[in-house]
C-alpha cells in the first residue's frame, strides 16, 4: 500500500524538486500532494512572536494552514513548515517529517518524540555552496574586487589599486584561520589547500582529517593562536552557549591590524557592536558579513555605512545544487522509512 506524502515547499526548496526526488526514490509507493509557500519573497516567523508556536524558529506558514494541508498524510516533507505541540495533537496520522535543512528548528522535537513521530534532517545540504561562497568572499576583499567595483560605480577609476602599498594579496602568501571544522569548515580548508594557503584550524571537538593532517600547510591550533597569526579569520561553528559572541572586543584586539574577518555562518557568533568599534578604531582591516543577529538588518545599521565592510543578505547557502541535494537526501529518508530501514539522519 502506498504512503500519503504532503510536500510543503517554497520558492527556494521547490516542491517539484521534492516530488521528482521522491518519485525517483520511491516510485509508486507514494501518493503525493504539494504546496508552494511564498518564502523568501515573504519573511519567516519566529515562535516567540506567535502564540502557540513557542520555541520554533525560522518557519513559514500558520498552524491552521499547515494542519489543513497535511490532513491525514503519514509523511510530511518540508523545509520551513512549522510543527508545534498543538499541531502534532491535531495530526494523529503523521508518523514522519523530513526537514530539508541542517537543523529542525521549525519543529517541536520534544512534542515529536511524545507523539512517536520520526524527524529527519539533511545535514550538510549547503556545505559546498557556503564553502565556495566563503572563498569568493575572501577573494572579493583580499584582491580588492569590492573596492574596484564600488569606485567604478561612483565614476572613479582607482588606478591606485595597482600601487604596491595598496594592492591586494594572494591566498598563497596568506594565513587563513578557520574556526569550526564541520561539514562546511572542512570543505573551506580543502579549497584553501588548492590555493597553497597556510591554514590554521580551531575546533576543540574534532581532529583534522587524514588528508589535512598530512599537509604541512594545515595546523590544528588554539583560538588565540589562530586570531593572532591569521590574515583572514572565517567562522564556521554552530551557535551554542560556548560559541555565542565568540568574536567580541577581546577577540578583535588579538587579530592583526590589517586582518579580514568573514562571517558566513551565523549572526550570534559575533558581537557586531564590538566589530563596528574594531573596524572604526583600526584594530582590524575589514569585514565580510553574510549573516546577522537580526534579519533583515535595519537600514540605519552602522556597519552598512563603513567603507571597509562588504555585506550580503544571507545567501551563501543558496544554490541550485543545495535544492537538489537536499531533496535527494529527504527522498532517501522517506524510502528508508517505507522500507523499514533505519534513518540516516534521525534528529
pLDDT at 210 over 90: yes
Q: How many percent of the chain have pLDDT more than 70? A: 100
Do 292 and 272 contact (CB within 8 A), yes or no?
Answer: yes
Residue 40 confidence (pLDDT) above 80: yes
CA distance 125 to 152: 37
Q: What is the pLDDT of residue 116?
A: 97
> Nearest-CA neighbor of 337 among 11, 6, 29?
29
Q: Which of 79-83, 99-103, 225-229 has the lowest mean pLDDT?
A: 99-103
**pLDDT (0 to 100) of residue 326:** 97
First-to-last CA distance in the chain? 27
- Of the candidate CATH numbers 3.20.20.80, 3.40.50.720, 3.30.70.330, 3.30.1950.10, the domain formed by 3-125+319-339 belongs to 3.40.50.720
pLDDT at 161: 93
Percent above pLDDT 90 for the chain = 93
Q: Which residues are catalytic?
A: 266, 295, 314
The stretch 192-218 carries a mean pLDDT of 96
Alpha-carbon distance of 214 to 191, in angstroms, equals: 16
Q: What is the mean pLDDT of residues 21-50?
A: 93
CB atoms within 10 A of CB 305: 9
Q: What pTM does this model have?
A: 0.91
CA gap 56, 82 in Å, rounded: 7
Q: Over range 296-309, report the average pLDDT.
A: 92
3-125+319-339 and 127-311, same CATH topology: yes
pLDDT digits (tens, 9 = 90+) for 266-275: 999 999 999 9
Give the pLDDT confidence of 131-153 residue by residue, as tens digits: 999 999 999 999 999 999 999 99
Tell me the per-residue pLDDT of 72-88, one tens digit each, with 9 for 90 and over. Answer: 999 999 999 999 999 99
Averaged over 99-103, what is the pLDDT? 93
Segments making up each domain of the chain, as ranges = 3-125+319-339, 127-311
Average pLDDT of the chain is: 96
- Three-state secondary structure of 24-83: HHHHHHEEEEEEECCCCCCCCECHHHCCCCCCCCCECCCHHHHHHHHCCCCEEEECCCCE
Fold (topology level) of 127-311? Rossmann fold (3.40.50)
Whether residue 67 contacts residue 41, with contact meaning beta carbons closer than 8 Å, is answered with no
Confidence of residue 47 (pLDDT cuts 50, 70, 90): confident
Residue 104 in this model has a pLDDT that exceeds 80? yes
Res. 294 pLDDT band, cuts 50 70 90: confident
Cell of 269: 557568533
| pLDDT value, residue 55 | 87
Confidence category of residue 279, pLDDT binned at 50, 70, 90: very high
> Model confidence at 45, in pLDDT bands (50, 70, 90)?
confident
pLDDT of residue 197: 98
Amino acid at each position: 500500500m502506498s504512503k500519503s506524502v504532503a510536500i510543503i515547499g517554497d520558492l527556494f526548496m521547490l516542491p517539484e524538486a521534492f516530488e521528482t526526488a521522491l518519485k525517483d526514490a520511491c516510485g509508486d509507493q507514494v501518493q503525493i500532494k504539494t504546496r508552494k509557500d511564498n518564502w523568501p519573497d515573504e519573511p519567516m516567523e519566529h515562535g516567540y512572536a506567535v502564540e502557540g508556536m513557542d520555541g520554533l524558529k525560522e518557519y513559514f506558514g500558520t498552524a491552521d494552514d499547515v494542519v489543513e494541508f497535511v490532513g491525514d498524510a503519514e509523511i510530511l516533507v518540508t523545509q520551513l513548515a512549522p510543527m508545534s505541540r498543538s499541531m502534532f495533537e491535531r495530526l494523529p496520522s503523521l508518523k514522519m517529517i523530513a526537514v530539508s535543512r541542517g537543523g529542525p528548528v521549525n519543529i517541536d522535537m520534544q512534542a515529536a518524540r511524545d507523539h512517536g513521530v520520526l524527524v529527519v534532517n539533511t545535514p550538510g545540504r549547503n556545505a559546498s555552496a557556503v564553502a565556495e561562497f566563503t572563498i569568493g568572499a575572501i577573494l572579493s576583499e583580499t584582491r580588492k574586487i569590492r573596492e574596484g567595483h564600488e569606485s567604478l560605480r561612483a565614476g572613479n577609476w582607482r588606478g591606485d589599486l595597482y600601487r604596491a602599498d595598496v594592492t591586494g594579496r594572494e591566498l598563497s602568501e596568506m594565513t587563513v584561520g578557520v574556526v569550526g571544522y564541520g561539514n562546511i569548515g572542512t570543505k573551506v580548508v580543502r579549497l584553501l589547500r588548492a590555493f597553497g594557503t597556510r591554514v590554521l584550524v580551531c575546533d576543540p571537538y574534532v581532529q583534522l582529517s587524514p588528508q589535512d593532517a598530512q599537509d604541512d600547510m594545515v595546523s590544528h591550533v588554539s583560538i588565540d593562536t589562530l586570531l593572532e597569526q591569521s590574515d583572514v579569520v572565517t567562522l564556521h561553528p554552530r551557535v551554542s552557549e560556548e560559541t555565542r559572541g565568540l568574536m567580541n572586543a577581546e577577540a578583535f584586539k588579538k587579530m592583526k591590524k590589517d586582518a579580514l574577518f568573514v562571517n558566513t555562518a551565523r549572526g550570534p557568533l559575533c558581537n557586531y557592536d564590538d566589530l563596528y568599534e574594531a573596524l572604526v578604531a583600526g584594530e582590524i582591516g575589514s569585514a565580510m558579513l553574510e549573516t546577522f543577529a537580526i534579519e533583515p538588518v535595519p537600514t540605519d545599521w552602522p556597519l552598512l555605512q563603513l567603507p571597509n565592510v562588504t555585506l550580503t543578505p544571507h545567501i551563501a547557502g543558496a544554490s541550485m545544487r543545495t535544492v537538489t541535494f537536499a531533496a535527494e537526501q529527504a527522498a532517501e529518508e522517506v524510502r528508508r522509512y517505507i522500507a523499514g530501514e533505519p534513518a540516516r539522519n534521525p534528529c
